[in-house]
Amino acid sequence: MLQRKLAIIAGSIIMVFGMIFYFQGLAIVGPKSSFMYSNPQWVTYGILIFFLGVIFLGMVIFLIFIRKR
């Protein structure tokens, strides 16, 4: 049970980091002195990291439902 919760929390954190990187790349959040600020490369990284979190979270939820059966 603890492993499931930790996996769900980890997937959620990965998604949040992806959103932060995305918004920093768009110059919406973060300090202007950051190397990620207003950098289109980090917009792409943010999107990829966000979707990796979505995929990870989806796999965890899928495995939770399979093991309950």
Find out whether 46 and 25 touch, Cβ atoms under 8 Å: yes
φ/ψ (deg, to 5) at 27:
65, 35
Band (pLDDT 50/70/90 cuts) for residue 68 is confident
Rounded distance, CA 64 to CA 23, Å?
A: 32
Domain count, the chain: 1
Q: Which domain holds residue 39?
A: 2-68
Rounded distance, CA 54 to CA 49, Å?
A: 9
Q: pLDDT tens for residues 18-62? A: 999 999 999 999 999 999 999 999 999 999 999 999 999 999 999
